[in-house]
A and B are shown apart, each in its own frame.
Chain A
Amino acid sequence: MKLELRGITKSFGALVANDHIDLVVESGEIHSLLGENGAGKSTLMNVLYGLYEPTAGEILIDDKPVMFAGPADAMAAGIGMVHQHFMLVPVFTVAENVALGGETTGFGGILNLDDTRRKIREISARFGFDVDPDALVDELPVGVQQRVEIIKALVRNAKILILDEPTAVLTPQETDELMDIMGQLKSNGTSIVFISHKLREVKAVSDTITVIRRGKVVGSADPGAATTELASMMVGRAVSLTLDKADAEPGEVTFKVSNLTVMNDAGQRLLNDISFSVADGEILAIAGVQGNGQTELTEAVLGLHKHIQGSIMLDGRELVGRSVRQVLDAGVGFVPEDRQDDGLVGEFSIAENLVLDLYTQEPYSRWGSMNRAVIAKNAKEKVAEFDVRTQSSQDAADTLSGGNQQKVVLARELSRPLKLFIASQPTRGVDVGSIEFLHKRIVAERDGGTPVIIVSTELDEVLELGDRIAVLYAGRLMGIVPGKSSRELLGLMMAGLPADEAQAQLDAPAAGSSGAGDVAPAGDTEGERS
C-alpha cells in the first residue's frame, strides 16, 4: 500500500507545526523521519492517524484521497500507530487489550476472546514475538508491551505502521529485537514510518530518510550518509557528536552513600547494600539495564522511599529521613526518569513548570503570594537559554514536543546553585543538537564544582559523561570503573559480573582482547561517535 501526504499543513494558533509537507511512503518501505525537537514529526503522524485535522493538504492511499475523522477511520484504512506512551489498559490481559475497540462478540454480546487469542498466537508465531495472550499487561516489560501495541495494529490489518520514538524507552537488546521485527514486517509488505533521535538506529533500518526542520521538509537523506551529515542536515548547523570534556578535577568528597538498602512494601530488597561516593567536580555515571535499582537509588536520595537503611550524606548532613522539600533545599537538583509522570505538571504553563520546585523561594514568591512578573521573566530567560521551542512560555507544558519538555525539566533543575545534581535519562527523547548543548551544561555544572550523578541506560551517554562509571545489577553495585573503560567490560558488569571478575575474564588469554582502551565490540556500529 502506498501512502502519500500532499501539502499537509497543521497550525496551532499562530504556530505552523507542519508547513506544506509532502511525503511518499512506498509499499514495504521503512521511512524514517528525522528532525529536531519540535520540528513537527509527532504532529504530522497525529494528522496521518486522524488525531488532528489538517489545516490544509490531503492524504492519499494508493493514489486515492482519504479523509480521517478519527483514529478509527485511519485504522480502517490500514494505518496503525504505536505512541510513545502506550495506550494499554494495565489491568487487562494482552488478549483483552487487543480486542478492545474491535471486539468480536458472540451470542448475547459475550466477548469472544478465543478468536483474538488465536490471532495473537498466529501473529506472534509469524514474527517471533513471544507474547502470551493471557498475560496481564501490567506485568510485562516495556518492550513486550510495545509488541502488544504492534500486535493491536496488525490484528486490524495495518499495512502502514507508525512508530513514534519507539526505542526511547527500550533497552539496547529490546531495541535490537524491535529492529528485527521491523525487518520482518517490511519483508511482509508492511510500510513503516519510524521516528527516532538515535541516528545509529535510523541509519540501520531506513530505506528512505526525510528530514524535517521547523515544520518544513528540508530534503531526504541517504541512510548510508555519515551520522554527522545527518545531524547537521537536521539541525541546520554543524553538530559535534562527541563531547570535548576536560578531565575531571575532583575536589573534596561531599556526597557519600553508605550501605544503602531500599526495600519495597513487601520487604523485597530493591537496592542492596550500596556504598559509593562522589567528589565535587566529578561525574559519576550509573549504567545498567533498566530496572536494576537505578530508579530506586535516585528516588532514595530525593527522599521518596519509605523503607531505607543506611546513610546518604551530603555536605556532612544526613539526607535519609528528610522530606523531599528538605532534600531539595539542601541543594539537590533532581531530574526524574519520566518527565511526564514526575517532572512536569502537563496542564501548568511552561513558566509555572520552570518554578515547580522553586516557587516557595524569593523572588518567585513573597509572603505566600506568587510573583508572576518574576516567574514570567525567569521563563523567558530559560526558554531562550535552553532553546525550548515554544510560542509562548504561558502555553501549557503538554503542548510542547517531547524533547522540549525534557529541556524544561533540565532548565529548571540546572538553574540554581547546587550541591548535588542527579539526573535520570537526562537526554531521553532529545535531538542530537540539544544533547550536545545539555551535555555541555552538565559538564559545566561539574566544572563549577558540583558532584554530578547521571543515570542512563544509553551506554554512549554513560561513556561520554562519566568520569567514573558505576554499574548496577539486580540492586547490587557491580563495581565502579574509570570513565574510559571498555564497552565489553561494562557489558559484562551489566550482565551481573563484579568488576574484578569481569576484568579477569577480559584479561584471560582466551578472551583475546586486552580490555584496555575503548574497544568497540563487533557488530556495534558506534564507530563514528567515538
Chain B
Amino acid sequence: MSETQTVKEPTPPAKESQGSQVFREIMSGSAMISVLAVFVALVIGGILIAVTDPRVSASSGYFFADPGATLSAVWSAVSEAYGALWRGATYDPTARTWQGQLGIFETLTFATPLILSGLAVTLAFRAGLFNIGAQGQILLGATFAGIIGFQMQLPPVIHLLAVILAGAIGGAIWGGIAGFLKARTGAHEVIVTIMLNYIAVSLVLYLLKNQLKAPGSTNPISAQMHDTALFPLLLGPNFRLNAGFILAILAVIVVAWLLNRSTLGFEYRAIGANPKAARTAGMLVSRGYTTVMLISGALAGLAGVAQIAGTEKTLDSDIAGSIGFDAITVALLGRSKPWGTFFAALLFGAFKAGGTSMAVNADVSIDIVAVVQSLIVLFIAAPPLIRSIFRIKAVRREGASA
C-alpha cells in the first residue's frame, strides 16, 4: 500500500509560546501569593482612601505640628471605609432593616455567577486554554435560557430544568466554536473568544430588537421569565439568594471531581501541562481542546442562567455585566483550582455587596473597589513583585538540568 495516509491530528506546538508560559507561571503560584496580593491591594486601596479623604487633607495641613491628628484621621478614614465594606458584605447591625443587616446573603448572590463563570475559566486553563470568552458564553447561555424561560410554558421543575439545560447548551456552543477552531485550525483561542464576545453582544441585541423583544416594549428588553422558569428563592422574598447558588456549589464539586479524579481531567491536565507528552501517551489533544471548551462554555452558560433565572428575570444585552471578565480575575486569584475559584468568587461577591455600603456609609467612592480589584489582578499577574515585596524565594527547579 502506498497512498499517503493522513491523520487529522495537528501537531501541537513544539515549544509553549512565551505568553502561555507566563500565564502558566501566574496560575501555578501558591495560594500564599493570592492572599498576599489581596492584602497588598487592600493596603494600597487604603492609602488611596486616606489621601482622598477631606479630614486627612485638612489635618495634614498642620502635620508637623500635630502628626498624631493626621495619623488618627488616616486611621479613622481607612477603618471606616473598610469597616463599612466588611459589614456591608457580611453583617451590619447598624442597618435600618433586618434584611439590610444581612449583607452576607447579597455576597452569596453576587458570587453565584462569578463562581460558575470562574470555573469555566479555571477548567479551560487547566487544559492550557485561556478562555477570555466567558462574557459571550454567559450572554448566549442567558439567551438560550431566556427563550425557554419566557417564550415557553412548561410544568414547574421541568421548566427550570429545561432552562438550565438550554443555558448550558447555549454557552457550550459558544465555547465549543472556539475549541473546535483551535483544534482544527490552530486559531488562537484568545483571539477567537474575544471576537465571539463581540458577536454575542450584537447577536443578542439583534434578537432583542426583533424576535425576543417584549411585546409592547420599545426598549431592547425581553419579557419576564415565567415563574416556573425561575430559581426558587432560598430565604423567602426578603433576600435575592436563590437556588442558583446551590447549582454553583454543585458545579464546584463536579469540576473538582472532573479535574482531580476523572480520566478526562487527567487528560486535560496533561494536555495543559505538556501537550507533546500527552500526544505521545495516546491522548487526542485536539479532541481535548474541543471538549474542554464545550464544558467550559457550558459552565459560563450556567452563569448566564444564574443571572436570568436568578436575579435579572429579563434578558437584555447587558445581562452579563462585567461578570465574564471578573471571572478571569476570580480564576487567577483562585489559582485555577475549583475551590480556590469558589473562595475568590465569594471575595469578589463581597466587594460588590459591600461596595455600595461603603459608598453610602463611609462616603468613599465605589471606584475604590474597582481599584482594589484591579490591583489584585496586577499583583497576581506579577508574582515576582509580590515575592520581592515579601522576600519569598521562588522555589522552582530552575534550568531543569538533568
Chain A residues in the interface with B (C-beta under 8 A): 42, 45-46, 51, 53, 81, 83-85, 87, 90, 164-165, 168, 259, 263, 302-311, 318, 320-321, 323-325, 327-329, 334, 336, 340-348, 352, 356-357, 359-360, 365, 368-370, 372, 398-399, 401-403, 405, 429
Q: Is B393 an interface residue (CB 8 A)?
A: yes
Report the separation of the CA atoms of residues A436 and B283 in the bound assembly, to the nearest whole angstrom.
32
Assess whether A348 is in contact with B261, with CB atoms less than 8 Å apart.
no
Assess whether A306 is in contact with B7, with CB atoms less than 8 Å apart.
yes
Smallest CB–CB gap between B278 and chain A, Å?
A: 7
24 contacts between A and B (CB under 8 A): A42-B402, A84-B401, A85-B402, A259-B2, A310-B1, A323-B282, A325-B282, A325-B283, A336-B280, A340-B402, A341-B276, A342-B277, A344-B277, A345-B269, A345-B274, A346-B274, A348-B269, A356-B270, A356-B277, A357-B282, A370-B263, A402-B401, A402-B402, A403-B402
Assess whether A90 is in contact with B15, with CB atoms less than 8 Å apart.
yes
Instruction: Using CB atoms, name the residue of chain A closest to B282.
Output: A325
Assess whether B15 is in contact with A348, with CB atoms less than 8 Å apart.
no
Q: What 1/0 mask marks residues of chain B from 375 to 402 whose CB sits below 8 Å from any chain A CB?
A: 0000000000000000001000111111
Q: Is B209 an interface residue (CB 8 A)?
A: no
Report the separation of the CA atoms of residues A343 and B282 in the bound assembly, to the nearest whole angstrom.
11
Q: Is B28 an interface residue (CB 8 A)?
A: yes
Smallest CB–CB gap between A473 and chain B, Å?
A: 23
Are A344 and B402 also in contact (CB < 8 A) when A309-B2, A324-B282 are?
no
Assess whether B4 is in contact with A308, with CB atoms less than 8 Å apart.
yes
Assess whether A356 is in contact with B281, with CB atoms less than 8 Å apart.
yes
Q: Is B210 an interface residue (CB 8 A)?
A: no
A residues near B4, Cβ cutoff 8 Å = 263, 307-309
Assess whether B400 is in contact with A340, with CB atoms less than 8 Å apart.
yes
B residues near A320, Cβ cutoff 8 Å = 1, 5
Q: Is B48 an interface residue (CB 8 A)?
A: no
Q: Is B273 an interface residue (CB 8 A)?
A: yes
Are A344 and B2 also in contact (CB < 8 A) when A304-B279, A360-B263 are?
no
Q: Is B91 an interface residue (CB 8 A)?
A: no
Instruction: Using CB atoms, name the residue of chain A closest to B278.
Output: A345
A residues near B399, Cβ cutoff 8 Å = 46, 51, 81, 83, 85, 87
Instruction: Using CB atoms, name the residue of chain B closest to A49.
Output: B399
Instruction: Using CB atoms, name the residue of chain B closest to A322.
Output: B7
Report the separation of the CA atoms of residues A259 and B279 in the bound assembly, to the nearest whole angstrom.
26
Chain B residues in the interface with A (C-beta under 8 A): 1-7, 9, 11, 15, 28, 261-264, 266, 269-270, 273-274, 276-284, 393, 397-402
Instruction: Using CB atoms, name the residue of chain A closest to B271.
Output: A345
Are A345 and B277 also in contact (CB < 8 A) when A168-B402, A320-B5 are?
yes
Are A307 and B6 also in contact (CB < 8 A) when A46-B398, A51-B399, A348-B270 are?
yes
Report the separation of the CA atoms of residues A343 and B274 in the bound assembly, to the nearest whole angstrom.
10
Assess whether B7 is in contact with A323, with CB atoms less than 8 Å apart.
yes
Say which residue of A168, A310, A360 sits within 8 Å of B2 (CB atoms). A310
Report the separation of the CA atoms of residues A306 and B283 in the bound assembly, to the nearest whole angstrom.
16
Say which residue of B11, B393, B402 sits within 8 Å of A401 (CB atoms). B402
Assess whether A164 is in contact with B401, with CB atoms less than 8 Å apart.
yes
Are A369 and B263 also in contact (CB < 8 A) when A83-B401, A84-B401 are?
yes
Report the separation of the CA atoms of residues A308 and B6 in the bound assembly, to the nearest whole angstrom.
8
Assess whether B262 is in contact with A53, with CB atoms less than 8 Å apart.
no
Are A343 and B284 also in contact (CB < 8 A) when A164-B401, A309-B2, A321-B7 are?
no
Report the separation of the CA atoms of residues A365 and B402 in the bound assembly, to the nearest whole angstrom.
32
Q: Given contacts A81-B399, A357-B281, could you give 18 more A-B pairs where the C-beta distance is less than 8 Å?
A: A45-B401, A46-B398, A53-B393, A84-B401, A85-B402, A165-B401, A165-B402, A304-B279, A306-B9, A307-B4, A320-B1, A320-B5, A321-B7, A325-B282, A345-B270, A359-B266, A369-B262, A429-B402
Are A347 and B273 also in contact (CB < 8 A) when A84-B401, A85-B399, A323-B284 are?
yes
Say which residue of B2, B261, B264, B280 sits within 8 Å of A343 (CB atoms). B280
Smallest CB–CB gap between B273 and chain A, Å?
A: 5
Instruction: Using CB atoms, name the residue of chain B closest to A364.
Output: B263
Report the separation of the CA atoms of residues A402 and B281 in the bound assembly, to the nearest whole angstrom.
20
B residues near A325, Cβ cutoff 8 Å = 282-284
Assess whether A84 is in contact with B7, with CB atoms less than 8 Å apart.
no
B residues near A53, Cβ cutoff 8 Å = 393
Report the separation of the CA atoms of residues A403 and B402 in the bound assembly, to the nearest whole angstrom.
7
Assess whether A308 is in contact with B5, with CB atoms less than 8 Å apart.
yes
B residues near A308, Cβ cutoff 8 Å = 4-5
B residues near A370, Cβ cutoff 8 Å = 261-263, 266
Instruction: Using CB atoms, name the residue of chain A closest to B401.
Output: A83
Assess whether A345 is in contact with B282, with CB atoms less than 8 Å apart.
no
Assess whether A405 is in contact with B402, with CB atoms less than 8 Å apart.
yes
Say which residue of A304, A306, A321 sits within 8 Å of B280 (CB atoms). A304
B residues near A328, Cβ cutoff 8 Å = 281-282
Assess whether B6 is in contact with A341, with CB atoms less than 8 Å apart.
no
Assess whether A343 is in contact with B398, with CB atoms less than 8 Å apart.
no
Assess whether B401 is in contact with A42, with CB atoms less than 8 Å apart.
yes
3 smallest beta-carbon distances between A and B, as pairs: A402-B402, A325-B282, A357-B281
Say which residue of B274, B284, B398 sits within 8 Å of A51 (CB atoms). B398
B residues near A369, Cβ cutoff 8 Å = 261-263
Smallest CB–CB gap between B181 and chain A, Å?
A: 20
B residues near A42, Cβ cutoff 8 Å = 401-402
B residues near A321, Cβ cutoff 8 Å = 5, 7
Say which residue of B266, B282, B393 sits within 8 Å of A352 (CB atoms). B266
Smallest CB–CB gap between A197 and chain B, Å?
A: 10
B residues near A399, Cβ cutoff 8 Å = 397
Smallest CB–CB gap between B2 and chain A, Å?
A: 5
A residues near B393, Cβ cutoff 8 Å = 53
A residues near B273, Cβ cutoff 8 Å = 345-348
Q: Point out which of A53, A308, A327 has the most chain B C-beta atoms below 10 A from its C-beta.
A: A308
A residues near B284, Cβ cutoff 8 Å = 323, 325
Report the separation of the CA atoms of residues A357 and B7 in the bound assembly, to the nearest whole angstrom.
20
Say which residue of B7, B261, B400 sits within 8 Å of A346 (CB atoms). B400
Report the separation of the CA atoms of residues A343 and B9 in the bound assembly, to the nearest whole angstrom.
19
Q: Point out which of B1, B3, B28, B264 has the most chain A C-beta atoms below 10 A from its C-beta.
A: B1
